Structure 1
Amino acid sequence: MMTPSQQWKSSTAALLSLGLSSALASPFLVQSTVLAQTRFSDTTGHWAQSCIQSLAQRNIINGYPNGEFRPNAPVTRAEYAIMVVNAFPNAARSRSARSFTDVRSNFWAANAIRTASQTGFLTGYPSGEFRPAQQIPRTQVLVSLNNGLGYSPTGSINATLGNTYADASAIPNYARGAIASATQRQLVVNYPDVRYLNPNSRATRAEVAAFLCQTLKNPQQASLISGNYIAGSPAEGLQARTDIPVVYDVAKKVIVSPQETAPLNVKVTEDIKDNRGNTVIPRGSSILGELQPQGSGTQFVAREVVIDGNSYPLEASSGIITRTVSARDPNLLALARNAVLGAGAAAGLSTVIGDGTITAEKVLTGAAVGTAIETNRNRPWQSVARDSALGAAAAAGLSAVIGDRTITAEKILAGAASGATIGGVIDPALQEVIVIDSQTDLNLQLEHPFSLS
């Protein structure tokens, strides 16, 4: 028997539409408008985004003419039949052709339904019906994939199901063996809680895509679905010293004073995988922490990561950043144009600049920064740092250095020193600020092992 990946590689799968209404005379009338569509307007940040995009790139699934994928929409049995036939075009036709009482020969999915029946991926009902317009339940999809590929469970079916699913008792008797087998092969994806199969719920477009991704995956390939949601997946985790590339996408630079502590929220720029190739921290996850003084420099220290809306403790840190610029450097204003200023830097710099103004619209915010901003808001200036963000301490110090010019910061980093007013209370003797490249300097390394359990 060929593996799913061999079946895939042996022929290019035809275009499949998972979500076009079965009320249409043909659900493929708009294929030409979506043929090249591989990115969708409603899947960014979705838990199955990578999987959906991969299947779209291989022309297994596609979206709607308006650019949507509609991941939460249901899939009919007729649509699913077309999907299976296109995903496994060379599956052996081991059964005789069967006619169904509710599938006319001119029905738009008649050929796919016949083929899916012959290859063992789908069967009809005892009444002789196929029920093509029925929204297919999750159980039927998993039974279909398992049976069509000829898989069988090993060991105790009840133990596999009972140890994996909190709702194992809801699995229909006819499906228990197939679901156990699919579980053992990690074909089952349960979002948001991997412990709940929800066997009788309708399958959504995203869920069908996820089942397909798991079925088509080679054992040597990394999963496109986070291991958090793959039933039967072994406990996964990351080892200490694992690198986590991140970016602070608010501004190109972050400017802080040397002794400033300021909160920061960064984004993970690529999937972080364990030794088995399972994604532990998906790309786009948020990591929360703070910039902390370290000797003559600063360091980003992470405290938690947010994955699909759930927070997990994280112990990781960046390298120590020691790149400094004199508060009187004439090039500092150019740097500030595309920077974020820490609360301490904002406050300290206004002292150095003298009667200049720091209007904090982009300063990493602190409790008393707002009052200080209002004090300086209407003072004259050329608004040369309109796209910058300063730490409150750095901003206060900068305004004293620049003289009669104003620093306009759209966001100020909040820090312990932000309670002082901008204009000189914080670090009036500020001589240097630390300039952080938000694209490269904040990359993290785990200090201790990390897991989602």
Structure 2
Amino acid sequence: MLMLSGLSNRAPLGAIGVLVGALVPLGMAAPGWAQSVEFTDVSDDYWARPFIERLADAEIIAGFPNGSFKPNQPVTRAQFAAIVRNAFEQPQIRSATRFSDVSADYWARDAIAEAYRRGFLSGYPNGTFRPEQQIPRVQVLVSLVNGLEFSASGSINEALSLYRDADQIPSYAEDEVAAATESALVVNYPNIDTLRPEQVSTRADVAAFIYQALVAAGRMPALQAGLQASNYIVGYSGAIPTVSGVVRAGTSIELHYPNGDDVDLVVAPGQTVTTTLEVARPLRNQQGQIVIPAGSPVQGRIVPVEIRGASVTAAKFVADSLSVNNRRYSIDAESDAIAATTSVEASTLQGALVTAAAESILASLTGNRNLGSLVEAILTGDSQTTSQSAVIVIDPTQLDLTVESDFTVGN
């Protein structure tokens, strides 16, 4: 059985930690790739620029009031806890504990407590957390692997053999580093085969590791080929790391409109419309590994549905195929039915995708004779029977699929 798991969207927090040099974590937002955020000390050819700017554009990290990012500044354990708290949301796996060196008014107290409860960070045997201690690269990788519950599926020794300095990896971290390597979390600059496990993490290092963890979790797209930064990702393939798996009948697959856009689809009753939606959250196996990444396209049709014993008509989304990392799979899955309505406010049509058949009957429902100004795009579809008194307004998040027959993704 497969499980769905993902990262929550948090409202942006204040710029906590700026005055103490923290890597400022902000709430996660749907990615926009205009990359409007730029920093004065992150040049066009800086090795970590794509990681830094994309996370900043998604409001996961931020810079300093003077417009700098300070990419080479070390990161402390407290600062890292604050980043993790706002980039990821995992289930709590243990009860809170008190650390003797984290006072009640310490700025990162809540972030440390949450990172501990969710399995990202632990304290030391003497009951301390050492919040101001700079965090080594290997501890960042161990933290991300443990918190996201990744595990190595192949040979530990084979994965570690990729690094010339594998003998410097602490024994407690070998399994986690192997898992991080398999999941393409590891970014090594300037030499891809040198891990430098005990070297203190810089803000640039942490940005790279966090971004790749979000890629592995299916919440960010992999860097495109040709970027300098991709040359330093161990095991870079240009695709989100996935494993093979059987998706069982009864599994739910959450959908949204491509790129997470908040739009409605408006169709006429009896109309069949071909369209493509995207997987909204990654589908995982019981080991937490991704089988279907978020953003995977689902091709299908919005088809009419007759509701027996009722005078209303409805529509549902029937999936024909699913694409994972550019491989296409036939699937048998469909959504629940959504009934037609005669109650449509003109304001709800702002930004909507409206078929031509639906547009022809909307004016009478809204009383708006200038409907074209409300319609941003028109879907194309085969018009069958239509009604002069109703349309079907569909929020794509209502079209979550239920798998009807088992299918296999991967080899």
8 Å contact kept, 1:19–1:205: no
Percent identity for Structure 1 against Structure 2: 45
8 Å contact kept, 1:18–1:83: no
Name the Cα RMSD after superposition.
3.0
The alignment partner of 2:61 has SS state of coil
Change (3 A) 1:99 1:220: closer
In 2, Cα distance between the equivalents of 1:198 and 1:187? 14
The alignment partner of 2:46 has SS state of coil
Aligned residue in 1 for 2:374: none
Q: Does 1:70 align with 2:73?
A: no
| Aligned pair partner of 1:233 in 227, 232, 236 | 236
The structure number with the bigger radius of gyration is: 1
Point out where structure 2 has 5 or more consecutive residues left out of the alignment.
Answer: 28-34, 240-411
In 1, Cα distance between the equivalents of 2:60 and 2:238? 30
Change (3 A) 1:46 1:185: same
The residue identity in structure 2 corresponding to 1:120 is G
Deviation at 1:179, TM superposition (A): 0.4
Q: TM-score, normalised by structure 2?
A: 0.50
Aligned residue in 1 for 2:204: 206
Point out where structure 1 has 5 or more consecutive residues left out of the alignment.
Answer: 237-453
Deviation at 1:11, TM superposition (A): 3.5
What is the CA deviation profile of residues 6-46 of structure 1, one whole-angstrom value per residue up to 9, with x for unaligned ones? 304x4445456677536xxx997xx9xxxx98210010221
Deviation at 1:47, TM superposition (A): 1.0
Aligned residue in 2 for 1:175: 173
Aligned residue in 1 for 2:103: 104
Aligned residue in 2 for 1:131: 130
In 2, Cα distance between the equivalents of 1:27 and 1:116? 16
Change (3 A) 1:216 1:70: same
Aligned residue in 2 for 1:153: 152
Q: TM-score, normalised by structure 1?
A: 0.46
Change (3 A) 1:85 1:235: closer
Change (3 A) 1:220 1:138: closer
In 2, Cα distance between the equivalents of 1:16 and 1:186? 30
Aligned residue in 1 for 2:55: 55
The residue identity in structure 1 corresponding to 2:130 is R
Aligned residue in 2 for 1:187: 185
In 1, Cα distance between the equivalents of 2:149 and 2:20? 31
Deviation at 1:233, TM superposition (A): 2.7
What is the CA deviation profile of residues 286-310 of structure 1, one whole-angstrom value per residue up to 9, with x for unaligned ones? xxxxxxxxxxxxxxxxxxxxxxxxx
The residue identity in structure 1 corresponding to 2:221 is Q
The residue identity in structure 1 corresponding to 2:202 is T
The alignment partner of 1:66 has SS state of coil
The residue identity in structure 2 corresponding to 1:131 is R
The residue identity in structure 1 corresponding to 2:192 is V
Alignment of 1:331-370 (within 5 A): none
Aligned residue in 1 for 2:114: 115
8 Å contact kept, 1:165–1:195: yes
In 1, Cα distance between the equivalents of 2:202 and 2:155? 29
What is the CA deviation profile of residues 364-384 of structure 1, one whole-angstrom value per residue up to 9, with x for unaligned ones? xxxxxxxxxxxxxxxxxxxxx
In 1, Cα distance between the equivalents of 2:91 and 2:176? 19
8 Å contact kept, 2:152–2:182: yes
The alignment partner of 1:7 has SS state of coil
In 2, Cα distance between the equivalents of 1:70 and 1:192? 18
What is the CA deviation profile of residues 212-239 of structure 1, one whole-angstrom value per residue up to 9, with x for unaligned ones? 1111123882326733101123599xxx
In 2, Cα distance between the equivalents of 1:19 and 1:67? 12
Change (3 A) 1:108 1:139: same
What is the CA deviation profile of residues 258-285 of structure 1, one whole-angstrom value per residue up to 9, with x for unaligned ones? xxxxxxxxxxxxxxxxxxxxxxxxxxxx
8 Å contact kept, 1:74–1:135: yes
For these two proteins, the number of residue pairs brought into alignment is 224
Change (3 A) 1:39 1:211: same
Alignment of 1:184-333 (within 5 A): 184-217=182-215, 218=218, 221-223=221-223, 226-234=229-237
8 Å contact kept, 1:18–1:205: no
Deviation at 1:57, TM superposition (A): 1.4
Task: Return structure 1 stretches of 4+ with deviation > 2 angstroms.
Answer: 10-22, 218-222, 224-227, 232-236
8 Å contact kept, 1:71–1:204: yes
Change (3 A) 1:165 1:219: farther
The residue identity in structure 2 corresponding to 1:168 is A
The alignment partner of 2:79 has SS state of helix
Aligned residue in 2 for 1:268: none
In 1, Cα distance between the equivalents of 2:123 and 2:70? 27
Change (3 A) 1:115 1:41: same
